[in-house]
Structure 1
Amino acid sequence: MVNRLQHSLSPYLRQHADNPVDWREWDDDALALARESDRPILLSVGYAACHWCHVMAHESFEDDEVAAAINETFVPIKVDREERPDIDAVYMTATTAMNGHGGWPMTCVLLPSGEPVWTDTYLPKPALLNLLGQVRELWRDNADAVRQQGFQIAEALRRHASGDAAPDSSGQRPAFDIAAGAAPMTAQDTAAAVDTLRRQFDPDEGGFGTAPKFPPSMVLEFLLRQHARTANAAAITMAETTFAAMARGGMFDQLAGGFARYSVDRQWVVPHFEKMLYDNALLLRGYLHWWRASGAPLARRVAEQTADFLLADLRTAQGMFAASLDADTDGVEGASYVFSPAQLVEILGERDGARAAELLSVTESGTFEHGLSTLQRRADPADEAWWGWVRRQLLSARRQRPQPARDDKVVTAWNGLAIAALAEAGTLLERPEYLAAAKECADALLATQYSGGRLRRVSLDGAAGSAAGVAEDYGNLADGLVTLFQITGERHYLDTAGELLETARELFVSTDPDRPDQMTVHDTAADSPPLLWRPSTDADNAEPCGASALAGALLTWSALTGDTDARTAAEAIVRGAATLAAREPRFAGHFLSVAEAMLAGPLQVAVVGAESQAAAALLKVARHNTSPGLVAVAGRPDEPGVPLLAERSLVHGRAAAYVCRGFVCQAPVTEPDQLAATLARRP
């Protein structure tokens, strides 16, 4: 059997290269084979860090009996959801519609033409064999009925995609309609979202709901922004309680920094151990903004340790950031991370081992499995020097263990999130190595994955893949670049962000000829290879969806350049999420964050005075202000090519800060305390 996956760009696909299953990638050849041989497709979708993907691979796809059953009847296709989010979105919509839930691994039986006839997630070997046998018999004895079922399912899903069907209870629907001239969400809308979140909030353990608990990164950013604009006490209480609970529990790596993907329990004790780039980039920015607002030492520590984790464990040889670390080590979930009291004693000695076990909640019965415990840090040690020694010793011992595999695939959107977070961390925390890493990542990403005015979704070892960038790639990277521009003053970052946003509006936003006052935002470009429909996601989940990512970048771009068309488009996109934000604000966190920035202006601060100490002092005040969406640039008086500096001059020969809100400007100020007072005035 030809090993078709061994040269794949995706590390996930290469994990399956030696399976006895005759896997193919999703491409024209595989789809043509299905049509020409009239064989159904077995579609398996997952990703490299997915624990249950590994379990199903070991149980079933490495098994000769299962492989024979698949190869006999099906054209088997394996897809990395991180590389092809468009394919994943289409068939996850089908999976959730047909089963009421979704997840990975995703297992679908498709007609040769791609219509789904059966979908599910993880299947143990007996269940999978039973399915394969049933489909084989049905296809042999009554293929016409199977085809008819698939056509009916696809037609229902297409109607759903076109907007003729109501969204499901999660707020998901595969099309995102926005009014061309709509107003943004109102202050009443965002306040109502806080009230809804308060009813879902867990006041004892932080977070929302019970278990499992995912880090609500974008919701926390919204709550910080709501408090900054309105002083809403409920908003800051929910944010701070959740930030602290996540940082103290086992979901945060107390030794190496960085967060696991989610907690399986309500108390944040036991994580699902995979570490994703997007989670850590979003949480780095969230803890950084919490520290900016509060000065809390815990917030700064977690922000720094998360940034350190990105640089130490996810940075690639090219200076970009890898997608994830695996949940498993040698097939055992979490094996690298957990300890027993005896192991602590062996590493640290009797006295210090017992003391560390108490601090880190390592018990004889264990908080995880087999008498082993995750490491928590529910209180700060009285002796920080001692804890520093303990942390170094335990981390050194842990590094001697087998380590989880790393998915070295570079995802454009996630690297955009990392660029923005590291750039801000570098300047706010005065850690120049973080800013240098953000610049290196941006430069490498543009050199590798941006060509001919178009983005590629992924690269590996410096070679770009063939998958086209989707809306979130353009939005998140543009956001990272405008953040870099504000901090470095390097105009090419702003120019490239503008190119990306202009292209994104051409590729992903279209006007309905039957409804000229309406636009549709899709995740995939109009010239992408056709699927059952052009997928879109109008809800934020673990990361900003394409629509909200573009809205945020467009708003910042408009504030920096005065581009009113970009502002209008951002407002229209956010207005389109108002129903979702009212019903399920947990799935509209980034939309709500952008709405808060719109309600705050956002503030525009231009500091003139070149590189003088006085200008630096003014700029520091601006950057440490918490007003939602605030943009700040610095440069020489009336510096050409920087719109916010146009017609800005020194004041009596002194560095000055010019503050505008919604294109209404205040008199320039020359003292940091004057600037702080100006910025503190709420709209």
Structure 2
Amino acid sequence: MNRLGSSTSPYLRQHAANPVDWWPWSDAALAEARDRDVPVLISVGYAACHWCHVMAHESFEDPVIGAKINANFVAIKVDREEHPDVDAVYMAATQAMTGQGGWPMTVFATPDGEPFLCGTYFPRDNFDRLLDAVAEAWRDQRDAVLRQGAAVVEAIAPQRLGGAGGTPITPDLLAQAAQRLVAAHDVAYGGFGEGGPKFPPHLALLFLLRHYKRTGDKDVLEVVQHTAEAMARGGIYDQVGGGFHRYAVDGHWVVPHFEKMLYDNALLLRVYTDLWRLTGDALAGRVARETYECLVQDFSTPEGGFRSAYDADTEGVEGLTYVWTPDQLVEALGEEDGRFAADVFGVTAAGNFEHGATVLTLARDVDDADQAVRDRWRQVKAKLFTARQDRPQPAIDGKVVAAWNALTITAIGEYARVAEALGEDPGDAADRAERAATLLAERHVDADGRLRRVSLDGIVGEPAGVLEDYGCVAEAFALIHQLTGAAVWLERSGALVDTALAKFVEDGRVFDTAVDAQRLVTRPADPTDNATPSGASALAGALLAYHALSGEPSYRDRAAEILGQVAEVIAKHPRFAGYSAAAAEALLSGPVEIAIATPDADQAIELTRAAIRNAPGGAVLVVGEPDRPGVPLLDGRPLIEGRPAAYVCRGFVCDRPVTDPVGLSTVLTV
């Protein structure tokens, strides 16, 4: 047993019994390399990574390889989800040296952490030879190795984007971004770009939905609808259990890479919820509901948070849990329902996956079918889900990541509001969002107000929060303030954005790590969105929400400065700036502030529903008694002739209050 057994990372624990003398990422590990005068082997991956498992089985579980590593290197195992800052630095080096990246990431570095040779997956024999070559180079060509490391560090130093003020966010700039996405739309299969692999473009879709709401551009809405429907009907969507897999290996959304990630499902829940809100589309509403149910059923932890991921493999085989043959359908459902299921889900004898199996897709329309067909389809799905539970199941990464839980809190909170506004019962969604927020507030926020990134089974780990944690959690706390009317959530949100501004922003420049964080060979500062929002875009969204709820104009100004620095990225590369563009839409809209003054929430239910249905993207909404303590947006917002009244404001300057839903809808759509 090496040093990884007590880690809060399930990925590191997977390697605890390796013959490799692994260290977790730490200054102590680098100090050990300096003391021994040996290079560092840094292996970066995550628990749901297929090729990480392959390399582990081939190399890291091999005693011969383990002995060679232990003799010539200090080996450091990094969970990229615990340490996105470390991952970002060495991924930049890997891409600079090889032209590509991925996981597992294999990096050889000096004892100071300077990378001099990088790669990804290496087959066992190649890796064996590489270990010998690196050890020999360190021994016999030390000066060349050190020069290489210094050159790589210089090459990957982040470049500053824009000036101090940046480029102003304008309607034309966001229109340009939207037009670029429309032009890149795959008109045959949805998404952006042709061919595979295809990742769900949730951040870009969130932007486009906000842009459509502000502009009414029907071309933009068609892109979102087409892509959302294609994903929902494809194999990337779990047709039986709900929720989305990580990506499709093809360009048609049919065959997924079977891992399920919390952040994907949280962000896609927001997409389908907002599409449902704006259009009333039955398919979007069903997918939103099923994705929420998947988050509750499959991702919830006993402590009230949400676990990170489900593995791509089941017992080393991709898709084993999820795929079906016609005979398996008949065995689970009987002859008649088996044929019905094969027809609806596109299951054939030839299959669309390996060994004649089929990844289920939605081959027939059921959302608009008659009630009898819908009832039968739901019964068949329930039976298939029960049968699937008897199969071997993929491994689970149970750690709670602050940023990803915050994205989930925001998604579930928005779903709760929209479902109720559209006449569906959201169940206890709002309570679940608040419970998860309480877990973050009580376990992940230190006594000094600093965030910790991860916990496992309620035990908080050592990794410090990075900027995306601060931004996402602050935005989630702002939403819980709106849902509950409790002053403490707005206070908590404000404390986090203040800490983020103090610790992560220097001379107007936004960094992903705090000024007092563990020193890396470069300080990452990537403003582009990837699978999750960048730290900069998350902070901008949080600043706008806090400004709109608190009335403090300086926070809006800081958000505008941050977005101005990435304005050119938004305009020219919107696929990599979707969350920034969505925040920019909120900036242009105000953000809109809606206060509904009422002595009792039930008395204002129709006003509240009208507000939710018609609010522009990024709007905030509070409902409660006039002058409620700790709720600035309700200050000085009285009832009108004893009736509930809705105030629509920007910068705390309000239009004339309205008391009927039609009037409120008109104000919000003008």
TM range (shorter): over 0.9
**More off after superposition, 218-227 vs 623-632:** 623-632
Which of 397, 409, 414 is the aligned partner of 1:419? 409
Alignment of 1:547-558 (within 5 A): 547-558=536-547
> Does structure 1 retain, via aligned residues, the 8 Å contact 2:235–2:360?
yes
TM-score by length of 2: 0.96
**Which amino acid is the alignment partner of residue 34 of structure 2?**
R
| 1:657 equivalenced with 2:652 (yes/no) | no
Regions of 4+ moved over 6 Å = none
The runs of 5 or more residues in structure 2 that have no matched partner are 421-425
**Which amino acid is the alignment partner of residue 228 of structure 1?**
K
Deviation at 1:177, TM superposition (A): 5.8
Q: Matched residues in 2 for 1:326 and 1:564: separation?
A: 44
Q: Matched residues in 2 for 1:320 and 1:139: separation?
A: 46
Q: Matched residues in 2 for 1:576 and 1:317: separation?
A: 41
Q: Matched residues in 1 for 2:163 and 2:335: separation?
A: 64
Deviation at 1:184, TM superposition (A): 4.1
Residue aligning to 1:201: 185
The runs of 5 or more residues in structure 1 that have no matched partner are 164-174, 512-518
Residue aligning to 1:14: 13
**Which amino acid is the alignment partner of residue 535 of structure 1?**
P
**Which amino acid is the alignment partner of residue 296 of structure 2?**
L
**SS of aligned partner of 1:287:** helix
Q: Matched residues in 2 for 1:25 and 1:106: separation?
A: 15
> Does structure 1 retain, via aligned residues, the 8 Å contact 2:5–2:13?
yes
> Does structure 2 retain, via aligned residues, the 8 Å contact 1:177–1:521?
no
- For residues 8 and 176 of structure 1, do their structure 2 counterparts lie closer, same or farther at Cα, with a shift above 3 Å needed? farther
Residue aligning to 1:56: 55
- For residues 678 and 293 of structure 1, do their structure 2 counterparts lie closer, same or farther at Cα, with a shift above 3 Å needed? same
Q: Matched residues in 2 for 1:153 and 1:612: separation?
A: 59
> Does structure 2 retain, via aligned residues, the 8 Å contact 1:596–1:628?
yes
Residue aligning to 2:261: 276
Q: Matched residues in 1 for 2:474 and 2:562: separation?
A: 16
> Does structure 2 retain, via aligned residues, the 8 Å contact 1:220–1:239?
yes
Residue aligning to 1:432: 427
Residue aligning to 1:286: 271
Which of 525, 528, 531 is the aligned partner of 2:520? 531
Q: How many residues align?
A: 658
| 1:29 equivalenced with 2:28 (yes/no) | yes
> Does structure 2 retain, via aligned residues, the 8 Å contact 1:340–1:366?
yes
Residue aligning to 1:470: 466
**Which amino acid is the alignment partner of residue 157 of structure 1?**
I
Which of 333, 347, 355 is the aligned partner of 1:370? 355
**Which amino acid is the alignment partner of residue 641 of structure 1?**
G
> Could you give the per-residue CA deviations for residues 630-671 of structure 1, whole angstroms, max 9, x where no partner exists?
111111122233221111111112111111134442111111
> Does structure 2 retain, via aligned residues, the 8 Å contact 1:192–1:582?
yes
Q: Matched residues in 1 for 2:142 and 2:614: separation?
A: 65
Residue aligning to 1:445: 440
> Could you give the per-residue CA deviations for residues 524-557 of structure 1, whole angstroms, max 9, x where no partner exists?
1100111102112110011100000000010111
**Which amino acid is the alignment partner of residue 262 of structure 1?**
Y
TM-score by length of 1: 0.94
Q: Matched residues in 1 for 2:88 and 2:524: separation?
A: 6
Alignment of 1:431-510 (within 5 A): 431-452=426-447, 453-510=449-506
Q: Matched residues in 1 for 2:8 and 2:229: separation?
A: 39
Q: Matched residues in 1 for 2:348 and 2:66: separation?
A: 43
Q: Matched residues in 1 for 2:588 and 2:219: separation?
A: 19
Q: Matched residues in 2 for 1:194 and 1:672: separation?
A: 31
**SS of aligned partner of 1:432:** coil
**SS of aligned partner of 2:428:** helix
**SS of aligned partner of 1:429:** helix
**Which amino acid is the alignment partner of residue 223 of structure 2?**
M
Residue aligning to 1:642: 631
> Does structure 2 retain, via aligned residues, the 8 Å contact 1:470–1:523?
yes
> Does structure 2 retain, via aligned residues, the 8 Å contact 1:5–1:23?
yes
Deviation at 1:422, TM superposition (A): 0.8
Residue aligning to 1:128: 127
Q: Matched residues in 1 for 2:607 and 2:462: separation?
A: 46
Residue aligning to 1:166: none
Q: Matched residues in 2 for 1:347 and 1:475: separation?
A: 46
Which of 218, 237, 242 is the aligned partner of 2:227? 242
Q: Matched residues in 1 for 2:554 and 2:601: separation?
A: 35
> Does structure 1 retain, via aligned residues, the 8 Å contact 2:98–2:118?
yes
**More off after superposition, 456-465 vs 147-156:** 147-156
> Does structure 2 retain, via aligned residues, the 8 Å contact 1:183–1:571?
no
> Could you give the per-residue CA deviations for residues 384-434 of structure 1, whole angstroms, max 9, x where no partner exists?
111111111111110001111111110000000011111121222131311
**SS of aligned partner of 1:454:** coil
**Which amino acid is the alignment partner of residue 56 of structure 1?**
M
**SS of aligned partner of 2:78:** strand
- For residues 612 and 629 of structure 1, do their structure 2 counterparts lie closer, same or farther at Cα, with a shift above 3 Å needed? closer
Q: Matched residues in 2 for 1:379 and 1:192: separation?
A: 37
Residue aligning to 1:394: 384
Residue aligning to 1:169: none
Residue aligning to 1:516: none
Q: Matched residues in 1 for 2:601 and 2:119: separation?
A: 62
**Which amino acid is the alignment partner of residue 337 of structure 2?**
D
> Could you give the per-residue CA deviations for residues 261-282 of structure 1, whole angstroms, max 9, x where no partner exists?
1111111001111111110010
Deviation at 1:626, TM superposition (A): 4.1
**More off after superposition, 229-238 vs 132-141:** 132-141
Q: Matched residues in 2 for 1:293 and 1:393: separation?
A: 33
> Could you give the per-residue CA deviations for residues 20-47 of structure 1, whole angstroms, max 9, x where no partner exists?
1121111122111101111111110000
**Which amino acid is the alignment partner of residue 148 of structure 2?**
Q
Residue aligning to 2:295: 310
Q: Matched residues in 2 for 1:463 and 1:658: separation?
A: 43
Deviation at 1:523, TM superposition (A): 0.7
Q: Matched residues in 1 for 2:155 and 2:252: separation?
A: 40
Residue aligning to 1:167: none
Q: Matched residues in 2 for 1:58 and 1:85: separation?
A: 24
Deviation at 1:567, TM superposition (A): 0.3
**SS of aligned partner of 1:537:** coil
> Does structure 1 retain, via aligned residues, the 8 Å contact 2:475–2:542?
yes
Residue aligning to 2:596: 607
**SS of aligned partner of 1:451:** coil
Q: Matched residues in 1 for 2:68 and 2:162: separation?
A: 44
Residue aligning to 2:394: 404
Q: Matched residues in 1 for 2:154 and 2:175: separation?
A: 39
**Which amino acid is the alignment partner of residue 121 of structure 1?**
T
> Could you give the per-residue CA deviations for residues 121-168 of structure 1, whole angstroms, max 9, x where no partner exists?
11111221221121122122222221222122223333xx2x3xxxxx
The two structures, once aligned, show a CA RMSD in angstroms of: 1.4
Residue aligning to 1:170: none
> Could you give the per-residue CA deviations for residues 333-376 of structure 1, whole angstroms, max 9, x where no partner exists?
12111111111111112222122112111121221111111111
